[in-house]
Amino acid sequence: MAYSLPLTYPSLKCVIKHMEVNSRIQLSQRCPSIRKAEKSIPLKIGHLELDQCRVKINNTDYSLAVVCNYFSSPYDLDEVGSMDLGEVIDEQRDVVVDNRSLEEGEKRILRMEYELRMLTDDWEKKNALIGEALKKELKMTTEKSELVNRKCYVGIIKSLFLSRRVGVPAPIWDIDFVNKNKLITFRDEKLSYNMKLHQAFKYLIFKLFSGRRDAIQVKKLSIENKGILRVPASLNLKVTHLEILGSGVDKIAISFQPLLEGSSLQSIKLNNDFNIENPILQTSPLLIFKNPNENLFRARSAFTNVRVELEKSTIFPREALDLIANWLRHGKEVGTIWNFSLTEVTALVCFKDIRKLPGAKYAGHKTSSQLGRSVLIPINAFSEIHIFDEKEEAQDGNDWSLKITVRRKL
């Protein structure tokens, strides 16, 4: 009977190097004998997502939640089921981003009250439909089961509201740890709620990424946080593209900057309000702003970054005019490109208003100039602003881009 020989150490490292990232991490957790070899090989991740209770590595989720029956929460809860706003004590100098607020807690309650009304209305409407269906001898057992589950969820929310109002202690909570991808749930485990979610999340990050000899190479890092995001200060990342979503952008950027010192960022994407003077915005040649406020277009502080792209659900011509007026007033480096994603109709409205600016003329492009879709405005004797649009492929309806650039005079 023939027996296969075990892999040599170099062969083992070669196999581990070419394994899928999550399979490699899980194998290392289950087989301590290969952990040293696995940790010595650089880890490369395509897309790493972090929020206060969830880490997603490529297409696989590792998530934590406070749960009780049909109810789950991504926040720590107090004795009556409200968001825990207690002070966070950081004795180990971890990277801690605390975006909790009393206002956020109140908003959460309002969202739950709204959801309660919508679920109740939906239950009543669908329950009536089920009644009609039964009269017609139609089977809707799957639909009915789903509605029963949703009604139980409504009952849980009702009990939480009553607990808040009269001070009755909430039910006993657990922490639910789930490891899954789109097709398979690898692990779903209930844990005792004997530590805060942010402490449990830090431990999860430590188990996934600690002890590695080289920096973890991440092509795209996405960070979003509405509660407490806590990671070890020893987390060593080398990031190519950074994306910060949701609220508290400046807190996240400042807190994570020490972890990104070894990174050569090629792009930074920010959502919502942010401090224009934040030094992290000067570390990338491409900035992408999603739904920025109007102050961005009027700020005197000019980004040294050459390319800026803007993604907004609604673009107003006034914003493009403010940006152009700002450049004419304060100047701008040759080679600067700002790209607005918008609809063709909005682009045409922008051109109509831009054409009225002093010194503006239809020029810069042989065909587009004749159609009124290419405009030049002189800044000084050496440079000029060139505004034109292009057709692009997009799924959100904004299938055109309005490009505002600075070039040398020809």
**333-367 pLDDT tens trace:** 888 888 888 888 888 888 888 888 888 888 766 66
High-pLDDT (> 90) share of the chain, %: 15
The torsion region of residue 57 among left (phi > 0), alpha (psi -120 to 50) and beta comes to beta
For the cut 60, the answer to whether the pLDDT of residue 46 exceeds it is yes
For the cut 70, the answer to whether the pLDDT of residue 132 exceeds it is no
Residue 45 belongs to a domain:
no
Q: How many residues does the chain have?
A: 410
Residue 223 belongs to a domain:
no
pLDDT tens-digit series, residues 268-324: 998 867 777 778 888 888 888 887 777 777 766 556 667 888 876 566 778 888 888
- Cα separation, 347 vs 375, whole angstroms: 12
pLDDT tens-digit series, residues 60-114: 999 988 887 656 778 787 776 667 777 787 767 888 888 877 666 566 656 666 6
- Cα separation, 391 vs 162, whole angstroms: 55
The arithmetic mean of pLDDT across residues 150-162, rounded, is 58
Looking at per-residue pLDDT, the higher value among 115 and 192 belongs to 192
For the cut 90, the answer to whether the pLDDT of residue 401 exceeds it is no
Sign of CA dihedral 313, 319, 324, 328: negative
pLDDT score, position 167: 55
pLDDT score, position 202: 92
Structure tokens at 292: 């920025």
Q: What is the pTM of this model?
A: 0.78
- Of these ranges, 200-209, 285-294, 398-407, the one predicted with the greatest mean pLDDT is 200-209
pLDDT score, position 110: 65
Residue 86 belongs to a domain:
no
pLDDT score, position 88: 81
CA dihedral 297, 302, 304, 310 (to 10 degrees): 0
pLDDT score, position 183: 75
As for how many domains the chain has, the answer is 1
Window from 18-22, 192-196, 270-274, 296-300 with minimum mean pLDDT:
296-300
The arithmetic mean of pLDDT across residues 20-36, rounded, is 87
Q: What average pLDDT does the structure give for the chain?
A: 78
Residue 248 belongs to a domain:
no
- Cα separation, 340 vs 288, whole angstroms: 10
Query: Are 208 and 235 a contacting pair, CB within 8 Å?
Result: no
- Cα separation, 331 vs 327, whole angstroms: 5
pLDDT score, position 358: 86
Residue 389 belongs to a domain:
yes
pLDDT score, position 12: 81
Return the percent helix, strand and coil in the chain, to nearest 5: 35, 30, 35
For the cut 50, the answer to whether the pLDDT of residue 139 exceeds it is no
Query: Are 182 and 59 a contacting pair, CB within 8 Å?
Result: yes
C-beta neighbour count of 223 within 10 angstroms: 22
Looking at per-residue pLDDT, the higher value among 194 and 384 belongs to 384
- Cα separation, 272 vs 245, whole angstroms: 7
- Of these ranges, 126-130, 204-208, 344-348, the one predicted with the greatest mean pLDDT is 204-208
CA dihedral 277, 278, 282, 287 (to 10 degrees): -100
pLDDT score, position 217: 94
Residue 228 belongs to a domain:
no
Based on its alpha-carbon atoms, the radius of gyration of the chain, rounded to whole angstroms, reads 27
Which residue reads 């589950």 in tokens?
A: 149
High-pLDDT (> 70) share of the chain, %: 72
pLDDT score, position 114: 67
When pLDDT is cut at 50, 70 and 90, the band that residue 138 belongs to is very low
State the residue range of the domain holding 322: 285-410
The torsion region of residue 359 among left (phi > 0), alpha (psi -120 to 50) and beta comes to left
For the cut 70, the answer to whether the pLDDT of residue 11 exceeds it is yes
CA 56 to chain CA mean position, Å: 11
When pLDDT is cut at 50, 70 and 90, the band that residue 165 belongs to is low
Residue 387 belongs to a domain:
yes
- Cα separation, 172 vs 111, whole angstroms: 23
pLDDT score, position 140: 47
Beta bridge partners of 95: 231
Residue 381 belongs to a domain:
yes
Long-range contacts of 377-385 (CB under 8 A, 24+ apart): 377/324, 377/328, 378/409, 379/327, 379/328, 379/331, 379/332, 379/406, 380/331, 381/409, 382/408, 382/409, 383/332, 383/334, 383/407, 383/408, 383/409, 384/408, 384/409, 385/324, 385/327, 385/328, 385/332
pLDDT score, position 243: 94
For the cut 60, the answer to whether the pLDDT of residue 2 exceeds it is no
When pLDDT is cut at 50, 70 and 90, the band that residue 137 belongs to is very low
Query: Are 372 and 344 a contacting pair, CB within 8 Å?
Result: no
When pLDDT is cut at 50, 70 and 90, the band that residue 119 belongs to is low
pLDDT score, position 192: 83
When pLDDT is cut at 50, 70 and 90, the band that residue 220 belongs to is very high
